A = this chain, B = another copy of it.
């Protein structure tokens, strides 16, 4: 049974998005394996997830380019999208490129705003108009491509951390900001999330940006009965942390210090040179760790440093100092050398499939079954990867049972 599903990507020409789109097309064309797709595990066999063949890509970006060009950039930076592979899916890539429109850069920081052109969405007269335009674009995308639904996925660069805005905490507050055109108190991701969810489209926030994580949007999603999830994809160093830290605790070993030093060189890294964006990114990593290891005596630090020559390859070095029996001090270190985009891209496709399933199953609010995908999962404080993954497997099992009634979502927002 075919169910055409739209994937509307914010930051559509970024490296994660490019890898997701090129990769999905290459899988469809049989040019690469399906390795890395979590939703291809046996657990999901009977869930009736939408197939990659049924995904149609479009979205927003600030740069005017296309997937052939962005793939060339990714390959120059990371060596992972060889010309031969890209050429093999040239047609679908050009078609997807044509579906990308100019997005919104409101309060996205100097680096991103540098890409802004006249056509940026925030040039609209009011915030209300910006939201309206977004919703028009989403509906037009759905209509003109004959899509059953559209999942909106935020893959745009990390927005700078904004001081707490009390109005964000309630739907009334958020709508007040829109109404009064309070441009200095909202960020692009918040507008995107509002627009998508208000119009009934599932929203996936793969970035550390605020988006759907604030109270007002949580409220909106409950009211509109729309599933959504986020935030901040867990692809590398933090993933490993959420696997290793529970091991130390299970052995009653005392964590003295955990230092995580991340080096990366892609556009994300460049954006992270801006202290406010860096703080936003580091914050999710640190919060994740603190939830895993609440002991205040444990010293911890996360650094993210820009090393241009690394391109899209991240190297993380973690130094773990721990104490065992006889109060003996010992050390574990790990070095993670991963290509961030290649790690993130399949998870994006997984989340689209899971959001589509949730939508179709009538589930609403945060999707705790996706906690294992995020550094700061909305709707749960569980940070331990094994527990998060068990929830996902349980969810898959429940949805795979052929006769299982599609129950009301067992999960409600925090």
Q: What residues make up the interface of A, taking CB atoms closer than 8 Å to B?
A: 19, 22-23, 26, 32-38, 40-41, 79-84, 239-240, 243-244, 246-247, 250-254, 256-257, 259, 261, 263, 299, 301, 303, 305, 307-310, 315, 317, 319, 321, 323-339, 342-343, 345-346, 372, 385-386, 389
- Give the residues in chain B near A22, CB-CB below 8 Å: 326
Q: Kindly state the separation between the CA atoms of A76 and B286 in the bound complex, as whole angstroms.
A: 30
Given A83-B83, A319-B317, A333-B334, are A37 and B325 also a contact pair (CB < 8 Å)?
A: yes
Contact yes or no, B246 A386, CB < 8 A:
yes
Contact yes or no, B309 A257, CB < 8 A:
yes
Q: Kindly state the separation between the CA atoms of A339 and B339 in the bound complex, as whole angstroms.
A: 18
For this chain, the copies found in one complex come to 4
- Give the residues in chain B near A327, CB-CB below 8 Å: 32-33, 35
- Give the residues in chain B near A35, CB-CB below 8 Å: 252-254, 323-325, 327
Given A338-B330, A342-B324, are A252 and B315 also a contact pair (CB < 8 Å)?
A: no
Q: How distant is A67 from chain B, measured CB to nearest CB, in Å? A: 14
Nearest residue, chain B, Cβ from A75: B82
- Give the residues in chain B near A346, CB-CB below 8 Å: 252, 324-325
Nearest residue, chain B, Cβ from A38: B252
Q: Kindly state the separation between the CA atoms of A330 and B346 in the bound complex, as whole angstroms.
A: 15
Q: Kindly state the separation between the CA atoms of A32 and B303 in the bound complex, as whole angstroms.
A: 34
Closest A-B pairs by Cβ, 4 of them: A36-B325, A386-B386, A256-B309, A328-B342
Given A38-B250, A263-B259, are A337 and B328 also a contact pair (CB < 8 Å)?
A: no
Given A37-B252, A252-B38, A334-B332, are A81 and B326 also a contact pair (CB < 8 Å)?
A: yes
